């Protein structure tokens, strides 16, 4: 007899993310290094390794040397559990001076998809407000001389996009937590040493 653990995993994921919500939208306690957060659900990038340097083309103009805003990095994931209907991505900086700064809340990525190409925006997806109260990707831009970690956490969800475009963090993050059945993370570093 097989036991379906998905409801328990979803509840545990929801509790973990919801419990971590505080202040400016913190989505997890800062960690010294990135770790896999789900059994067999892994996140990688062809542009940087976990715990390595985030290429400056994904950062603000101060770091990229360009007037254009940074691009979203390419991300790949595998090992999502059965029952995954969509994916969400939350990118945050746990080293921000006022608590974790959420740079990007992106959801509604088809459950059959396993990657995002650099700088891409997928049809039929939604984006919530970031800590700066703007919709979309806010490129990393740590203060001069500071080195920050940027965590890209991908959530496997048991529903389509759980919030509407432009949702506030107080709405989008709990909605993601409620429908999470697995998650994985990759972290890139940027700034002075």
Query: DSSP of 128-157, one letter per residue?
Result: -B-TTS-BS-----PPTT-EEEEEEEEEEE
| pLDDT score for 61 | 86
pLDDT, tens digit, 9 for 90 and up, residues 41-73: 999 999 999 999 999 999 988 887 766 668 899
Which ranges constitute the DSSP H helices of 21-132?
A: 61-64
Beta bridge partners of 91: 104, 152
pLDDT band at 2 (very low <50, low <70, confident <90, very high): very low
Contact 30, 94 (CB under 8 A): yes
For 17-47, the pLDDT digits (tens) are 444 443 333 344 323 233 335 567 999 999 9
Instruction: Provide the whole-model pTM.
Output: 0.81
User: What's the token pair of residue 125?
Assistant: 């997806």
User: What whole-number distance in Å separates Cα of residue 13 and Cα of residue 135?
Assistant: 25
Rounded Cα distance between 80 and 167, Å, is 25
Strand pairing report for 147-157 and 75-78? unpaired
């Amino acid at each position: 007899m097989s036991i379906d653990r998905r409801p328990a995993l979803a509840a545990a994921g929801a509790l973990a993310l919801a419990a971590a919500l505080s202040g400016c939208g913190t989505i997890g306690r800062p960690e010294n290094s990135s770790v896999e957060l789900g059994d067999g659900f892994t996140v990688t990038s062809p542009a940087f390794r976990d715990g390595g340097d985030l290429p400056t083309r994904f950062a603000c103009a101060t770091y990229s040397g360009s007037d254009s805003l940074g691009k979203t990095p390419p991300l790949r994931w595998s090992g999502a559990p059965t029952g995954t209907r969509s994916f969400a991505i939350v990118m945050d900086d746990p080293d921000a001076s006022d608590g974790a700064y959420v740079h990007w809340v992106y959801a509604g990525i088809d459950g059959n998809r396993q990657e995002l190409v650099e700088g891409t925006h997928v049809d039929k997806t939604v984006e919530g407000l970031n800590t700066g109260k703007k919709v979309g990707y806010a490129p990393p831009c740590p203060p001069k001389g500071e080195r920050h970690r940027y965590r890209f956490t991908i959530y496997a969800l048991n529903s389509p996009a759980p919030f509407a475009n432009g949702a506030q963090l107080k709405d989008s993050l709990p909605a993601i937590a409620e429908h999470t059945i697995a998650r994985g993370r990759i972290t890139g570093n940027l700034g002075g040493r």
